[in-house]
Amino acid sequence: MIAFLASVGAAFLAFLAAAGRLAMFAGEALGAGLTPPYYPRLILRQIVYVGYFSLPVVGLTALFTGMVLALQSYTGFARFNAESAVATVVVLSVTRELGPVIAGLMVAGRVGAAMAAEIGTMRVTDQIDALTTLSTDPLRYLVLPRLLAGLVTMPALVLVADIIGVFGGFLVGTYKLNFNPVTYLTQTEQYLETMDVVSGLVKAAVFGFIVALMGCYHGYHSRGGAEGVGQATTHAVVSASILILLTNYFLTQAFFAQ
């Protein structure tokens, strides 16, 4: 019994230590942004990479999510003659939950993995140490631009995903389920509140930060050559995905729980 409690305690302490290291890493990287030099070109490059180049994968996912959502909700609501709620369900689901969560997960797979691999390779080939010896703070030069890009770009990406997702529902609703287009759009707009969209965008900012932080953190601390970089990449994607789902619950509760 004592051995069991000791192992639980050790695991809990290890978790707290890891959380502390992560918080210190994020704090040091963000703190580095308070003083010059600043690297606007690097931030812009990361914004383009995180946002623009993720558009196809996020857009496609959002489109099919909206389409499936319309089909599924129609099937369910038809059982108690509530088909007219389909448009409202689609728009609320996409803006509040599926837009930010699915975009977050897709960006974790695409961008978080790439960040971990790139920074991890720089770590195991001494390029990060080389930055330091060239009077350049690696946290300021490598990590901060990625964190800021994740933070500011994801809301824009999710806004586009929201529009595409709702459009996917509209396509299925009007072409397959025979909704009147004007009626569908009216119902989409009728019950949509500003908070529905804003909460999704806030979630997106948090998820973008999480994806970038996990990618940078695991890459920065990778070791042991190619295998270490591979592990860092896996850890970045898995931990970002879990944290996205976890924080999504708490953010939803904070926004909407009565």
Partner 1 sequence: MSTGSVPKISVRGLEKSFGRKRVLDGVEFDVAAGESLVIIGGSGTGKSVTIKCILGLMRPDAGSIRIDGEETVGLGRAARARLMRKFGMLFQDSALFDSLSVWENVAFGLIQGRGMPRQQAREIALQKLAAVGLGPEVALLSPAELSGGMQKRVALARAIAAEPEILFFDEPTTGLDPIMADVINRLIVDLVQGLGATAVSITHDMVSTRKIADKIAMLHKGRIVWQGPTAEIDRTDNAFVDQFVNGRAEGPIEMEVRAA
Least CB distance to partner 1 at residue 127 (A): 5
| Alpha carbons 191 and 85: distance in angstroms, whole number | 10
For the bound state, the minimum distance from the C-beta of residue 183 to partner 1, rounded and expressed in Å, comes to 53
- Tell me the C-alpha distance between 206 and 82, whole Å: 35
Compute how many other C-beta atoms are within 10 angstroms of the C-beta atom of residue 36. 7
Distance in Å, CB of 21 to partner 1, minimum: 15
User: In the complex with partner 1, which residue's Cβ is closer, 20 or 181?
Assistant: 20
Please say which residue, 45 or 185, places its beta carbon nearer to partner 1.
45
Cα 96 to Cα 4: distance, rounded to the nearest angstrom: 41
- When the beta carbons of 36 and 258 are compared against partner 1, the nearer one is 36
CA proximity to 104, closest of 227, 204, 228: 204
Contact 174, 184 (CB under 8 A): yes
By beta-carbon proximity to partner 1, the closer residue of 35 and 253 is 35
Q: How many CA atoms lie within 13 A of 190 on its CB side?
A: 12
Please work out the total of residues on this chain that contact partner 1, with binding judged by CB under 8 A. 14
Q: How far is the CB of 138 from partner 1 (least distance, A)?
A: 11
Is 25 among the residues that bind partner 1 (CB under 8 A)? no
Nearer to partner 1, 123 or 218 (CB): 123
Nearer to partner 1, 33 or 76 (CB): 33
Binding mask 186-225 for partner 1 (x = CB under 8 A): ----------------------------------------
**Residue 40 is a binding residue for partner 1 (CB under 8 A):** no
Query: For the range 185-190, what are the long-range contacts, defined as Cβ-Cβ under 8 Å and sequence gap of 24 or more?
Result: 185/87, 187/84, 187/85, 187/86, 187/87, 187/88, 188/87, 188/88, 188/90, 188/91, 190/88
- How far the first Cα of the chain sits from its last, in Å, is 41
**Cβ 63 to partner 1, closest distance in Å?**
33
- For residue 37, whether the previous peptide bond is cis, meaning omega lies within 30 degrees of 0, is yes
Give the nearer residue to partner 1 in terms of CB position, either 37 or 194: 37
Question: What distance in Å separates the CA atoms of residue 23 and residue 35, rounded to the nearest whole number?
Answer: 20
Minimum CB separation of residue 226 from partner 1 in Å reads 14
- Binding residues among 110-169 for partner 1 as defined by CB under 8 A: 122, 125-127, 129-130, 132-137, 141
Give yes or no for residue 37 binding partner 1 (CB under 8 A). yes
Given the rule CB under 8 A, which residues bind partner 1?
37, 122, 125-127, 129-130, 132-137, 141
